[in-house]
Homo-oligomer: A and B are copies of this chain.
């Protein structure tokens, strides 16, 4: 049986003719080693292809491992979140284990247990719905827990979120300024805290102003769901002329069907606002007005939290979404 044969510090020590401690010290900053032995050790290490075993190091101190829990990775917005998070964590010396979870609680539980098995220093939840008890297990084991865009407010965990109510309010304002009279809202049946919040604020403020809003709940948060929603909304008479889709993907599907199957011109006959600012929103076929999440800043904040480690552990930070004006909404008209 092949036994994995990694080269260990002992082998290096033997080859260099020094003690194993000397090898260890050579690779430890600030330890006391003479220049001569240091060189001998480095030579031997190079010849054998030695690499410090971080697993063994992690036995005593921190493992430098961060678990990234994420679902629906193929979604453009998620892909970007994962990309930015892993990049920044890596740059800061962390190594990230990705746990890809379906949305069902079962697989998330299994995955989070892995987190504990590998003694991750921290767990960052991008999506998925981990059971509160498991999160508590992570906390009990001394892990730092960071939740992004979720409302579960658990003692001891940090939370980052985008200010969804601000987005809902601003979306309404944009459509009103464009002169839209019949408002519509397209949301998904996912009913995440973020989605619900955007939806709620948009509808509440509109109704408070005496405006009617047609709410359509589509399927999952996909292009196809957006397309279906458009068919339902415009299938009956008197469809809306201004729509807030709580997600860019929904918006893009919605736009395609509104144009192709109902001959509506955007933004002349119909204004659309999305949320996320995925790459495709900027494509010529869409030019969707939307809101960007400040992902880089959020990732930076996460990394800061992990590096501080002792910092106020239980807090909640809100980030402002950035409005991105494109052509799917008419520019402001004179209010009469």
Contacts and interface: CB of A to CB of B under 8 A. Distances in A.
A185 interface: no
Contacts of A192: none
A7 to B, nearest CB: 7
Contacts of A6: 119, 141-142
Contacts of A280: 280
Nearest to A89: B100
B55 A2 contact: no
Kindly report how many copies of this chain are found in the complex they form together: 2
A279 interface: yes
Contact of A99 (B7, B52, B90, B100): B90
B62 A4 contact: yes
Nearest to A6: B141
Query: Looking at chain A, what size class is its interface with the partner chain?
Result: 35 or more
Contact of A7 (B53, B100, B141, B283): B141
A169 interface: no
B73 A63 contact: no
A197 B95 CA distance: 35
A172 to B, nearest CB: 27
Interface string A48-75: 0101111110110111000010000110
Contacts of A252: 283
B95 A95 contact: no
B119 A55 contact: yes
16 contacts: A4-B142, A49-B137, A51-B141, A53-B117, A54-B114, A54-B117, A55-B58, A74-B79, A83-B100, A86-B100, A90-B100, A95-B97, A97-B97, A252-B283, A253-B283, A256-B285
